Amino acid sequence: MSLVEKILSKKTGEDISAGDSIEVEVDLAMTHDGTTPLTYKALQEMSNNVWDPEKIVIAFDHNVPPNTVKAAEMQKLTLEFVKKFKIKKFHKGGEGICHQILAENYVLPNMFIAGGDSHTCTHGAFGAFATGFGATDMAYIYATGETWIKVPKTIKVEITGRNENISAKDIVLKVCKEIGRRGATYMAIEYCGEVVKNMSMASRMTLCNMAIEMGGKTGIIETDEITYNYLKKERGLSDDDINKLKKERITVNKDEANYHKEVVIDITDMEEQIAVPHHPDNVKPVSEVAGKAIDQVFIGSCTNGRLEDLREAAKYLKGRRVHEDVKLIVIPASKKVFLQALKEGIIEVFIKAGAMICTPGCGPCLGAHQGVLAEGEVCLSTTNRNFRGRMGHINSYIYLSSPKIAAISAVKGYISNEI
């Protein structure tokens, strides 16, 4: 059995396998300012109640603070939902991106997590089954606490080798290139191998975050000491809680699991990777893109807005100036990340270098505000999607990279991995 099959078998109490349609109880559900209004509308046609307000998380992150009347109206309606159903796990603007909020507060291994956002797959990093649903499905979940899914097939992706220059973002871009934008449609991507074993939780989240860019239902990683340490240190779980989780730990016998496909990526001689317009699987080694002039750099998002990402970027910006032709926008993924970055002097490094720092949230990632692109402009971004027009004008261009390359390029004025 794959990791997903094992988690879902445990949840349903039956031995299930890929292709089965199952009904399942949801442990945690989330919608944000962009998706709560439609979910609320659909819910009103189904029920006058929510199944369990304790298991629902609402976050304002996509347009914070609201920049248009429409965005303000959507938050007003969402607030009505929050009040009506007495949702306590409510995070108003400035607290962070919904996925970062979930990771910092609520996600636990073996959970079934349903999110009204496609990057809910990020939480597979905790050994949870986490995936995105549309508004009608979310409404049904809010009403009943249940949903159904077809159990996805699994692609095993093993990351091997050693290379100090390579980050989780370079790896996931390479995986996108190998698997392709439709290569994992309705499948789970199970990451393993020595590189993943040694990765921080933040990096594992970067890996799982982009499963959807390959059409994937989710990305997922077995829990281990790194997961438990994170839950203890960052989330304050007690030793008893951790021991309980360890007893319920789900592992996979990789030789016996019935993977649909297996991919091995050795990073030893790998170059850093860049996705070029207009698809995240349109990936090239940095040497083929180096020298491309840029107008804007964005460091942030649910892919790469965490503390380790900001620390990495700060290494290259410290004592340097952002190129005069480049706008650099930095957005910490959450309030917690922001406060810690302030404490460590990282924010000061960015400001002195000439960066603009914005309120934790999605920011320019989806082209809503805080840095939209003009016609012909080129942005190098640490986000996950470079679709045509996503960050602004239909004829603007988005390249995707790691925070390191983003920071170096902001200084140089063109794409580069050498400071």
Ligand X SMILES: CC(C)[C@H](C(=O)O)[C@@H](O)C(=O)O
Positions in the binding site for ligand SF4 (CB under 6 A): 62, 97, 117, 119, 301-302, 362, 365-366, 383-384
301 interface partner picked from ligand SF4, ligand X, none, CB below 5 to 8 A per type: ligand SF4
Give the residue at shortest CB distance from ligand X. Answer: 118
Residue 202 in contact with residue 166, Cβ under 8 Å?
Answer: no
Residues 20-49 binding ligand X (CB under 6 A) are: 34-35
User: How many angstroms separate the CA atoms of 355 and 317, rounded?
Assistant: 10
Q: For ligand X, what does the binding mask look like between residues 60 and 79, x meaning CB under 6 A?
A: --x-----------------
170 belongs to the binding site for ligand X (CB under 6 A): no
Kindly state the helix (H) or strand (E) to which residue 21 belongs, with its residue range.
Answer: strand 21-25
Q: What is the dihedral of CA 8, 9, 11, 12, to 10 degrees?
A: 110
Are 354 and 321 within 8 A, CB to CB?
Answer: yes
18 or 337: CB nearest ligand SF4: 337
Give the C-alpha distances (Å, rounded to integers) separating 207 from 125, 174, 196, 225, 416: 8, 11, 9, 18, 22
Q: Which is nearer to ligand X, 61 or 272 (CB)?
A: 61
Q: Does the annotation flag 358 for ligand binding?
A: no
Q: Which residues contact 12 (CB under 8 A, 6 or more apart)?
A: 22, 23, 24
Residue 39 and residue 47: Cα distance in Å, rounded? 12
Rounded to whole angstroms, the Cα distance separating 224 from 323 reads: 42
- 362 known member of a binding site: yes
By C-beta, is 387 or 414 nearer to ligand X? Answer: 387
Q: Does 203 bind ligand X (CB under 6 A)?
A: no
383 binds, among ligand SF4, ligand X, none (CB under 5 to 8 A by kind): ligand SF4
Residue 101 contacts residue 57 (beta carbons within 8 Å): yes
Binding of ligand X by 99 (CB under 6 A): no
Sole binder of ligand X in the list 27, 95, 117, 281 (CB under 6 A): 117
Contact partner, 35, from ligand SF4, ligand X, none, Cβ < 5-8 Å per class: ligand X
Closest CA to 203 of 181, 230, 182: 230
Span from 77-85, 114-122, 292-300, 350-358 in contact with ligand X (CB under 6 A): 114-122
Piece of 111-119, 241-249, 263-271, 321-329 that binds ligand X (CB under 6 A):
111-119
Per the listing, tokens 């699991």 go with 257
**Residue range at the interface with ligand X (CB under 6 A); choices 19-27, 112-120, 163-171, 325-333:** 112-120
Cβ neighbours, 10 Å, residue 181: 15
Q: Name the burial class of residue 236, with classes exposed (0-12), middle (13-18) and buried (19+) by CB atoms within 10 angstroms of its CB.
A: exposed
Closer to ligand SF4 by Cβ: residue 1 or 103 = 103
DSSP code string of 341-352 = HHHTTHHHHHHH
Of residues 251 through 310, those in contact with ligand X by CB under 6 A are none
Least distance from ligand SF4 to the Cβ atom of residue 209, Å: 8
**d(C-alpha 239, C-alpha 126), whole Å:** 18
- Give the x/- contact pattern for ligand X in 349-388, rule: CB under 6 A: -----------------x----------------------
Rounded to whole angstroms, the Cα distance separating 123 from 95 reads 18
98 labeled part of a ligand binding site: no
Decide if residue 105 touches ligand X (CB under 6 A). Answer: no
Q: Which residues are annotated as a binding site for [4Fe-4S] cluster?
A: 302, 362, 365
Chain residues in the site for ligand X (CB under 6 A): 34-35, 62, 117-119, 132, 366
Q: Which residues are annotated as a binding site?
A: 302, 362, 365
